[in-house]
Amino acid sequence: MKLELNQNKVFFNNGEERKEIHPFWLRERVVGEKFLDKGTQQRLFDPTFLNDEISIDKAIINNNYLELDFNDGVSTKLDIKNLVLEFYNDDKVIKSINKIKWDNSLTKLKNFKYHNNIFDSEEMYDLLISFYEYGFVIIKEVPNTEDFIIKFANSIGSVRRTNFGECFNVKSKPNPNDLAYTSLALSPHTDNPYRNPVPCIQLLHCIESNVSGGLSTLVDGYTVTEDLKKERPEFYEILTKVNVKFKFIDKDVVLENWSPLIELNTDKSFKQVRFSPRLDYVPIIDKNKLDLYYKARKKLSEMYNSEKYRIEFKLNNQDLIMMDNYRLLHGRTAYEVNEGERFLQGCYIDYDSTEGKLRHLKRKFNL
């Protein structure tokens, strides 16, 4: 990709096509202390107030910079490298991280240990890259004091508060409003599919675990649905098209959300899975279509619950797991409350937290 000039017009050439860059597009990107706030990089001018007839009086390329004089008297010097990045019109930080498919053969992950300076370090950058690759990451030696998870989450971004509170305590208790607050086994599921929007990332911090059971389980929804697409494309297709209702009822709130079990981006790539069979309600549609849908959902459930795709591990005291609620299904094995205590604290954050932190660290360390 390179820039070319012709009679004070600027063109980009990617080897296959040559197109003129609109002068107004360049005028919007002027830099300098008169035009951009030094700290936030927000514009100090409103481009919608500019004259529509912006043109370029003079344009030269000098030492990897594009120097421009506009007809409204403004001059600027633009870094060509930064302009080229914009021509691709895509996220080159997050979307460039490839998802790594995994199943029960996954045995080793990068090991990360908590320390006071981790949040603004290159180690945190590596941690977040690993998170986006696998959909989860485990951090060891996180202080196991109650509510420390809130400090941890807010050091990455901001806690997403729900009707369960800023954080929630996962332990057996009488009259629970969710099966998570029992000692029963939990099959693979995603959290809060009835919310709009669904919380993106869940953090769970092990405060105490003195029981032999209660193993954490994870399944990669990305791997499962990609395999389903290859093995049974007709199942995959209907599960991406039929919206089902997810519903949660508590004494103070009724939450509902409609969505498919497999949601795709506009380019048909993987976006999100939702799976919580105790909470979903399939709409009344054509009987033959429902026949196919129920077969597809059953097959998907069998894959999610298969040993082939599930990993099991024990979260020990001071372990904290961060997992992608749009990608992973999680659960646990049953445990006996008479053996001892099992106490985890959880909270949610959204993608802007991890994305913002990752971009900041990439910029800070020039990675």
CATH label of the domain that carries residue 212: 3.60.130.10
The predicted pLDDT at position 306 comes to 98
Kindly state whether residue 158 falls inside one of the protein's structural domains. yes
The predicted pLDDT at position 87 comes to 81
Question: Do 7 and 63 sit in the same domain of this protein?
Answer: yes
Matching residue, tokens 């029963």: 184
**Domain span at residue 309?**
112-364
Number of domains in the chain: 2
Q: Reply yes or no on whether the pLDDT at 83 is more than 60.
A: yes
Question: Do 221 and 160 sit in the same domain of this protein?
Answer: yes
Element (H, E) at 245: strand 244-249
Question: Do 200 and 166 sit in the same domain of this protein?
Answer: yes
- Say how far residue 292 (Cα) sits from the centre of its chain: 31
Question: Do 218 and 354 sit in the same domain of this protein?
Answer: yes
Kindly state whether residue 99 falls inside one of the protein's structural domains. no
For range 150-164, the mean pLDDT: 94
Kindly state whether residue 36 falls inside one of the protein's structural domains. yes
H-assigned helices in 6-109? 23-27, 80-87
Question: Do 267 and 311 sit in the same domain of this protein?
Answer: yes
Q: Reply yes or no on whether the pLDDT at 177 is more than 60.
A: no
The predicted pLDDT at position 178 comes to 57
Question: Do 79 and 119 sit in the same domain of this protein?
Answer: no
pLDDT band at 251 (very low <50, low <70, confident <90, very high): confident
Question: Do 30 and 145 sit in the same domain of this protein?
Answer: no
Q: Reply yes or no on whether the pLDDT at 326 is more than 90.
A: yes
From 87, 122, 138, give the residue that closes a domain.
87
Using one digit for the tens of pLDDT, what is the confidence trace for 266-310?
999 999 999 999 899 999 999 999 999 999 999 999 999 999 999
From 32, 54, 87, give the residue that closes a domain.
87
Question: Do 143 and 257 sit in the same domain of this protein?
Answer: yes
How far apart, in whole angstroms, are the C-alpha atoms of residue 321 and residue 330? 11
**Exposed e or buried b per residue across 280-319, where buried means at least 16 C-beta atoms within 10 angstroms of its C-beta:** beeeeeeeeeeebbeebbebbeebbbeeebbbeeebeebb
Kindly state whether residue 76 falls inside one of the protein's structural domains. yes
Name the residue among 45, 4, 1 with its Cα closest to residue 21: 4
Kindly state whether residue 106 falls inside one of the protein's structural domains. no
Question: Do 188 and 236 sit in the same domain of this protein?
Answer: yes
The predicted pLDDT at position 1 comes to 73
From 70, 87, 104, give the residue that closes a domain.
87
Question: Do 223 and 345 sit in the same domain of this protein?
Answer: yes
The predicted pLDDT at position 176 comes to 53
Kindly state whether residue 103 falls inside one of the protein's structural domains. no
Kindly state whether residue 360 falls inside one of the protein's structural domains. yes
pLDDT band at 112 (very low <50, low <70, confident <90, very high): very high
Question: Do 77 and 120 sit in the same domain of this protein?
Answer: no
**Could you tell me the CATH number of the domain that includes residue 57?**
3.30.2020.30
pLDDT band at 213 (very low <50, low <70, confident <90, very high): confident
Name the residue among 259, 251, 249, 275 with its Cα closest to residue 328: 275
Using one digit for the tens of pLDDT, what is the confidence trace for 31-63?
999 999 998 889 999 999 999 899 999 999 999
Question: Do 191 and 320 sit in the same domain of this protein?
Answer: yes
Q: Reply yes or no on whether the pLDDT at 115 is more than 90.
A: yes
Kindly state whether residue 105 falls inside one of the protein's structural domains. no
Backbone region of residue 304 per phi and psi (left: phi > 0; alpha: psi in -120 to 50; beta: other values): alpha
